[in-house]
Amino acid sequence: MSSNFSKKGCRGCYACVRVCPVDAIVIKGGQADILMDRCILCGRCSKACPQHYRVEKTSINSVKNFIKSGETVIASVAPSFASAFGKQSLKIPAVLRHLGFTHVEDSGITTKPIFDIYNAYANEKDNENYITSMCPTINHLIQKHYPELTNSIIPVVPPFISHGRFLKHKYGTDNKVVFIGPCVAKKTDATKEICVDEVITFYELQKWLQSENLNLEDFPIEPFDYIYKDKIIFPIAGETSDFIESKNPSKTVFCVNGIEDCKSVLNSIKNGKFENTFFEMNACNHGCLYGSDLDKDDRCFFEVKRDLINNKQKYIDLFQAKAVKNPYEDIALDVLLYKEYPPKPFKFEQPTEYEIKEILKTMGKTSRADELNCGSCGYKTCREKAIAVFNGIAEPSMCLPYMRSRAESLSNIICESSPNLIGLVDKDLMIIELNPAAESFFKIEKDEADGMPLGMYLDDQEFERVRTFRKNVRNEKITFEEYDNSTILQTIYWLEQNQMFLWLAVDITKDERAKEKLQTLKIETVEMAQQVIAKQMTVAQEIASLLGETTAETKITLTKLKNFILDDEEGKE
């Protein structure tokens, strides 16, 4: 099953594939999509995408509709809000009320019951390993990719779900609860719960404020409905571990941050290298302070941590009356915190060694030496990529070294074998390369022209005009007296992006000489025809003259004969 990952404008750069820690990106027809059965909702693909396409759709309009309907809408704000809004985060309660939220609470006020359950598991004398369930991404990682370890997940809801359940218990199930936090994974988890009606991230809230032209500086500092006095600040990685260790647990306690380290530890647990250990696991480095949907600013982690601690203390100092030890203590026992995390395995089919080799051949890899394992396709090794191709989630064309080699090979074949003259010239009018046809035309040795001034062979002023006026030259006839009056039709392109010229030319010398020969033949033929006509006229005139003389003589003779006959008749009479 794939997600609604935006298809518009995907450039096939494989940035999302390279950052996905669980190979959940599908590439088909050059288009990236997400295999949700493998996805752990870490949000890395959204951040890596140069087109800035986000995996999850915004929920702002849905929340706006809650507010417009006149319903009671409660904002459950993750205590890591200081990581998104910095020193202005003290204004968040006021601005949320301005947007229309009826109640605004810090979701951290319900962590104490969860931490108490964690502590109970940390003190179990059963030699088992246990993993916190606060991070939805870690829960998905274990359920889908380490299903044999799901029994190690402590069966309790994450804090944002526990707060949602408390809110529904307190204000009624018909009222709307909107969680606002740093994490995209909570969006999917919320759809499976009836206690949280919608989730928006801090990033979405920032966009919402921008669309309303609201500036936090213009709002007063107001308190949440409750200020939790407990010293636990669970968004900071290690706070959970510190709490457990302060209770003298029976198990060894470790805090693990970042998906890579978490995967490494999970592999070790699976291989039996840990026992009787309690693990606090966070998918994001530094925990929720660097959540998956937070835009990083120029503050370092320690600045963010300082702001969070200072803000909490400032709230307590400013609003002592609102500060309580545990506002939900009286109803904690009535709200279910239990949650199971069943295994959801999804494994690739494993091809045979023969099938792997055949797939590798389609990527130009016929030997181990061809398997560069460069990772440009997003997979750690060429063999992992071949397995992905076998399972239909990757394509052979994703191998960039192979495609580059193929493209270069094809372009080289075209350039080397082309009868046309081809050249590349840099912006300083120095020759980068000429193909064999061009070298033969200019009667130079292989690579002799490389790095030489263009003016040695061609009129470089024409190239300057092309670049200056951004008007390419096409099919311009040039004759070279120094090269036996050879003639070409040249085309000059200025490649702005590459800052170089592409010179293409066709040698039409033979055609031009054939034309000249034909023209000469035509002229000679005309002259010969003229001579024949003149000679024929002379002959005609001579014949006419002879015919005239003969006719005159004949006339005289016949006249004499006539007169002789007439004279003879008269004598007889």
Smallest CA-to-CA distance from 400 within 61, 7, 13 is with: 13
Spatial separation of the C-alpha atoms in residues 46 and 50, rounded to whole Å: 9
Count CB atoms within 10 A of the CB of residue 43. Answer: 25
208 has a pLDDT exceeding 80: yes
443: Cβ contacts below 8 Å, ≥ 6 apart:
483
561 has a pLDDT exceeding 90: no
Q: Which residue has the higher pLDDT, 399 or 68?
A: 68
Q: Which residue has the higher pLDDT, 63 or 484?
A: 63
Spatial separation of the C-alpha atoms in residues 378 and 397, rounded to whole Å: 12
What pLDDT band is residue 559 in, cutting at 50, 70 and 90?
low
What pLDDT band is residue 1 in, cutting at 50, 70 and 90?
very low
With a pLDDT cut of 90, the percent of the chain lying above it is: 32
9 has a pLDDT exceeding 80: no
Smallest CA-to-CA distance from 275 within 142, 119, 148, 127 is with: 127
**What angle, 0 to 180 degrees and rounded to 10, lies between the N-to-C axes of helices 382-390 and 353-362?**
100
472 has a pLDDT exceeding 80: yes
Under 8 Å between Cβ of 82 and 303:
no
Report the chain's mean pLDDT, rounded to a whole number.
83
What local confidence, expressed as pLDDT, does residue 99 receive?
Answer: 95
Q: Which residue has the higher pLDDT, 344 or 364?
A: 344
Most confident of 40-54, 78-92, 541-555: 78-92
The DSSP result for 119-143, as a single string, is HHHHT--S---EE----HHHHHHHH
3-class DSSP state for residue 487? strand
Most confident of 317-321, 325-329, 507-511, 561-565: 507-511
The DSSP result for 532-559, as a single string, is HHHHHHHHHHHHHHHHHHHHHHHHHHHH
What value does the mean pLDDT take over residues 368-395?
84
424 has a pLDDT exceeding 60: yes
> Cα–chain-centroid distance for residue 178?
32
What local confidence, expressed as pLDDT, does residue 270 receive?
Answer: 95
Q: CA Rg, the chain, in Å?
A: 45
| Bridge partners (DSSP) listed for residue 490 | 476, 505
What local confidence, expressed as pLDDT, does residue 272 receive?
Answer: 95
Smallest CA-to-CA distance from 456 within 486, 420, 480 is with: 480
Of 35-44, 85-94, 400-409, 495-504, least confident by mean pLDDT is 400-409
Under 8 Å between Cβ of 86 and 297:
yes
The residue with tokens 């087109």 is 51
What value does the mean pLDDT take over residues 513-540?
74
100-109 burial string, b = 16+ CB within 10 Å, else e? Answer: ebbbbbbbbb
Count CB atoms within 10 A of the CB of residue 468. Answer: 9
Token digits for 342?
Answer: 């069943």
Token digits for 343?
Answer: 């295994």
Of 365-369, 413-417, 422-426, 477-481, least confident by mean pLDDT is 413-417
554 has a pLDDT exceeding 70: no
What pLDDT band is residue 409 in, cutting at 50, 70 and 90?
low
What local confidence, expressed as pLDDT, does residue 568 receive?
Answer: 57
Spatial separation of the C-alpha atoms in residues 471 and 366, rounded to whole Å: 47
102: Cβ contacts below 8 Å, ≥ 6 apart:
72, 73, 74, 175
What value does the mean pLDDT take over residues 444-472?
89
What local confidence, expressed as pLDDT, does residue 403 receive?
Answer: 67
205 has a pLDDT exceeding 90: yes
- Write the pLDDT tens digit of every residue in 51-89: 665 556 788 999 999 999 988 999 999 888 877 887 788
Count CB atoms within 10 A of the CB of residue 39. Answer: 24
The DSSP result for 270-303, as a single string, is HTT---SEEEEEESSTTBGGG-TTPPP-S--HHH
User: CA torsion sign, 60 to 62 to 65 to 71?
Assistant: negative
What local confidence, expressed as pLDDT, does residue 321 receive?
Answer: 64
Smallest CA-to-CA distance from 360 within 325, 329, 388 is with: 388
The residue with tokens 């023969």 is 354
What value does the mean pLDDT take over residues 333-351?
84
Smallest CA-to-CA distance from 359 within 317, 388, 336 is with: 388
331-341 burial string, b = 16+ CB within 10 Å, else e? Answer: ebeebebebeb
What value does the mean pLDDT take over residues 342-362?
88
What local confidence, expressed as pLDDT, does residue 30 receive?
Answer: 74
What value does the mean pLDDT take over residues 19-28?
88
Spatial separation of the C-alpha atoms in residues 75 and 179, rounded to whole Å: 6
What local confidence, expressed as pLDDT, does residue 2 receive?
Answer: 45
What local confidence, expressed as pLDDT, does residue 260 receive?
Answer: 94
Compute the half-sphere exposure of residue 520: CA atoms within 13 Å on the CB side of its CA: 6
What local confidence, expressed as pLDDT, does residue 517 receive?
Answer: 79
